Structures are given as C-alpha cells and as structure tokens.
C-alpha cells in the first residue's frame, strides 16, 4: 500500500512515530516518509537512527500542527497521513489546559482542513482510552479530536480524503508509561501504588503500529477502531517488574481512573465486534453506502469494554516476557 507513496507522520519523533518509521522502512518502499514535529533535537537524534544516506526517502520537517501555513507546505503531495502529535501527559495538560486545547483540538482541526485542501487520500488519527467518558482534560481534548476527525468525512464533499481514528490503551514501555517509572523505582526497593485494585489495558508499540497500519489500509472513512488487547492489575504489574520490592499505596492521582474504558455503554448501539477488534460506526447517512465491512456482529446493548471486565488478562509471566523484550 505504501510503496511509491508519500507518507507523513505528525508527532513523528515520539515513541509511536519512531517505531512506525522503523516498521514502514522494513516492510515498504515509500517515495517519501516525512517526519513532522516541533523538536529539532529529537529530529536530529532520529536522523542518526534513520539517516537519509541509508534511507533516501526520509524527510524531516520542523513544524507545529498549530501552524496551518507550515502544514500546507508539509502536506503537499502526501498520500497517507498518520496523526500522532498531541500533548498527552495528564498532569501537564491539567496545568497547561490552553496549550492542550491548542494542540489536541485546534491542531486536529488544522490537520483536517489542510488534509482536505491538499487532497491527502487517507488520514488516521491516534486516540487513547482516556477519551472514552473522560475525567481529565487530556481525555476531553482527545474525545473532541476524535469527533472532529470522524466529522471531517462530512466536510470533504466530493474530494477523496477519508478520516478514521484508532483508540487503544497503555503502551508497554512508552514514555510516560508506569513501566519505566516502576523500573526506576525498583532501585530504591519500594514501588508506589496508586490503588491495588487498579487495572489497565496494555499493548506493545509494535502491536500498536501494526494495528494502525492495518486500519490505514482497510479503512473506509468514519470508523473508530478499537483493538482487542489484554488487561492487567497494577499489583500483578508490580510483581512482574519488581517481585522483591515493597509497595506503598499513595492514592489515585487527580484525573486518574480506577479502571480504563475504551467503549462506553452509550456507544454500544453503534459498535460492531470482529475477531480481533471493534468498530464504532459513525452516525452518517451515507455510511451504509461507503462501508465495505462485513462479517461483524453487533454487541449487546449493555456492552462496555473496560479493563476490569476484560476476559483477556496478562499474567505476571507474560508481562515479564514483554518487559524483557524492552
């Protein structure tokens, strides 16, 4: 799908962007792979890992999704776009709410408008479990972003651009994940636990990239994709990382949930289940004409996809194996 095409990743110097770049270069031969981000140091560091002397398709664009002029320049000729740029640290978003809104919401609007104007064929945006029934500002901005991207399909008119969204849970070992935090605390002999009942969804970076690229290839435009992934209790995670350490309960932080949610009950009516994922269908009149999906089954009216009622659980042994790969 990506051979001979122009591909752009916003927020391309983040954990996802770097892994996505690695996998695209391994599997495809894009004409150009453009990394769009605002941090020159991270771009320089990434250019050492993926130098243009070895990968002549690589391009590094310094820019911000808040800047439509720069987006217009960067999106020229782009076929496929993966939108991963975001302010995603929950405490940072709580303390700097206007900045989170400018990047996560207004930046999404800019990406949508410029992608339509420049004729980008397909755009897929990364979301988060925190966007489902959000209780913190980060989740609220990402919920708004999700709705903007889905609604973007109604703005396209007769043009070719299609927009979809992928929502998944915590990424094993990503920046900001509790796993590197626990691994650092392991040296002190004591791990701080917010609540021993807490559960979380988990996915590896490679699994996340694989799912996003699969969705990019198969999307019709308007879907919100949710992969089926395992959950784990926080105490089991602590046992996998530091079985010999003590634990200290410090209480749930502001803006944090006891259990994560990816599909709330209110969205069950438009959720279709497939073997390895769910699709939340949009409320578009033209969706039935556009949709080519088949073989799925509607979920029950009271269905919720939560980390605590998820039948797929990671064991301590399985998590140890994932952490060892890091």
Active-site positions read 130
Q: Which residues pair with 203 in a beta bridge?
A: 171
Interatomic CA distance for residues 188 and 311, integer angstroms: 34
Interatomic CA distance for residues 94 and 100, integer angstroms: 8
Q: Which two tokens stand for residue 3?
A: 């051979």
Interatomic CA distance for residues 300 and 265, integer angstroms: 9
Rounded to 10 deg, the angle between the 15-27 and 40-49 helix axes is 30
Residue 313 Cα distances to 123, 173, 233, 300, angstroms: 32, 18, 9, 21
How many C-beta atoms lie closer than 10 Å to residue 315's C-beta? 12
């Amino acid at each position: 799908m990506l051979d001979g095409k122009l591909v752009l990743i916003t927020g391309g110097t983040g954990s996802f962007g770097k892994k996505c770049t690695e996998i695209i270069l391994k599997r495809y031969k894009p004409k150009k792979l453009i990394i769009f981000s605002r941090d020159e140091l991270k771009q320089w560091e990434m250019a050492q890992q993926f130098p243009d002397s070895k990968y002549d398709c690589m391009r590094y664009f310094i820019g911000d999704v808040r800047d439509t002029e720069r987006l217009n320049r960067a999106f020229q000729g782009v076929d496929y776009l993966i939108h991963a740029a975001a302010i995603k640290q929950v405490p940072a978003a709580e303390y700097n709410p206007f900045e989170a809104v400018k990047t996560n919401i207004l930046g999404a609007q800019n990406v949508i408008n410029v992608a339509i104007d420049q004729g980008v064929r397909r755009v897929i945006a990364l979301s988060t479990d925190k966007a489902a029934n959000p209780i913190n500002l980060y989740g609220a901005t990402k919920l708004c972003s999700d709705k903007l991207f889905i609604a973007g399909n109604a703005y396209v008119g007769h043009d070719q651009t299609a927009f979809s969204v992928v929502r998944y849970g915590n990424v094993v070992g990503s920046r900001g994940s509790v796993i590197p935090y626990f691994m650092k605390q392991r040296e002190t002999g004591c791990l701080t636990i917010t609540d021993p009942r807490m559960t979380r969804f988990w996915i590896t970076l490679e699994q996340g990239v694989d799912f996003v690229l699969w969705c990019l290839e198969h999307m019709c435009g308007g879907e919100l994709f949710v992969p089926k992934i395992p959950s784990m209790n926080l105490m089991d995670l602590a046992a996998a990382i530091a079985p010999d350490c003590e634990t200290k309960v410090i209480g749930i932080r502001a803006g944090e949930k006891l259990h994560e949610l990816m599909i709330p009950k209110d969205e069950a009516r438009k959720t279709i289940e497939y073997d390895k994922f769910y699709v939340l269908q949009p409320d578009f009149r033209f969706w039935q004409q556009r949709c080519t999906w088949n073989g799925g089954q509607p979920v029950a009216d009271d269905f919720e996809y939560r980390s605590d009622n998820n039948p797929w659980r990671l064991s301590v042994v399985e998590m140890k194996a994932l952490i060892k790969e890091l």
